[in-house]
Amino acid sequence: MALGRSIRIYLDGGEVSGIRHAELVNWTGQALLCPRSRVIELTQWETAVRRPGVYLLIGSENIAQRDAYIGEAEIAAERIKTHLSGKDFWQEAIIFTSKDENLTKAHIKYLEARIIQLAKIAGRYRLINQKDETPVVLPRADKDAMEEYLNNARILLGALGHRILDPIIGQPSSHNSQLMRLFYAIKGASASGTVTDDGFVVFKGSTALTQVHESIRPSGYAALKEGLIKSGKLIKRGDALQFTSDTLFSSASAAAAVVYGNSANGRICWKTQEGQTLKDIEEEQARRIPASSIDEAD
């Protein structure tokens, strides 16, 4: 079983929306999240940003997928400042450096290339980097150290609200030895997917109806479906649309509405091969919670 980790996040000025400094206990790495509107305040964080590091520029949240750019610099803060005029899309910058002097140019080049690789594999954000990067060759000890750095950076990114390096379909939890596969068939569409910690994933190859009923426009599901088509995650296949990659939705109902193109209760629509609905499964899981646990929580 994986061990837990302790994270410390400092809110500059006590503001959740401001600059945030994050670190893991007993690790020399550090992360600083800075909103675009507060880049001038980076001057107050000399020991965190005026040194070699890798950075991520994160775009604002949109309907289908966020944009991101990944880079490296020997003085991270200076490079971020140049992107104020060079790149318009981003709203937040996240800088990773070290509290000591052990990150070299070769290290940050390696980290940049590996973060690009992992972000593309995860598929959560759309990378706007113009080219792929090949990791530089490092001595074995340095490579292992940078892979450990990457794992810690992934944890801090998640804690700061950006799971850009986490695969959409993660490993089964300690409570479930395998992913629960659910199915939804409606008219000419047939989809499969699974519940995850951050929503519902529809699997690559699933199909959806081309229709978009007016009833789902107020909920935003119509715009979501149109955004998925525009981004290429849904493409025309005969009389239906097909998912070109595993696609994460905020809920089972959002996934069902996009598949159907109409209002749908995801807890009822998605079923196991045996016909058990997601609602049945969740209610069965709720019944397994010992009453004493609820009493103690109260």
- If you average pLDDT over every residue of the chain, what do you get? 90
pLDDT value at residue 171: 52
* Other C-beta atoms lying within 10 Å of the C-beta of residue 36: 18
Buried b / exposed e over 90-114, threshold 16 CB at 10 Å, is bebbbbbbbeeeebeebbbbbbbbb
pLDDT at 110: 96
The C-alpha atoms of residue 137 and residue 226 are separated, in whole angstroms, by 43
Q: What is the pLDDT of residue 102?
A: 87
Tokens 């996009």 locate to 258
219-274: pLDDT as tens digits: 889 999 999 999 899 999 999 999 999 999 999 999 999 999 999 999 999 999 99
Tell me the pLDDT tens digit for each residue of 126-180.
Answer: 999 877 778 899 999 999 999 999 999 999 999 999 999 998 886 544 444 357 8
pLDDT interval class at 46 (50, 70, 90) = confident
Q: Token pair of 297, please?
A: 């929580």
pLDDT classification of 292: cutoffs 50, 70, 90: low
pLDDT score for 178: 59
pLDDT above 70: residue 205 = yes
**% of the chain surpassing 90 pLDDT:** 72
Predicted local distance difference test score (pLDDT) of residue 295: 53
Q: List CB contacts of 3: < 8 A, sequence separation 6 or more.
A: none
Provide the pLDDT for residue 296.
53
Q: What is the pLDDT of residue 57?
A: 97
3-state secondary structure of 104: coil
Residue 146 near residue 114, CB atoms below 8 Å = yes
Q: Contact 133/8 with Cβ under 8 angstroms? A: no
Residue 2 has pLDDT above 50, yes or no: yes
The whole-angstrom separation of Cα 159 and Cα 6 is 11
Contact 189, 207 (CB under 8 A): yes
Question: Is pLDDT of 89 > 90?
Answer: yes
Domain boundaries, given as residue ranges, for the chain:
7-159, 182-297
Non-local CB neighbours of 55 within 8 Å, separated by 6+ positions: 70, 71, 72, 73, 76, 79, 80, 93, 94, 95, 96
Could you count the other beta carbons within 10 Å of the beta carbon of residue 289?
10
Tell me what pLDDT residue 174 has.
41
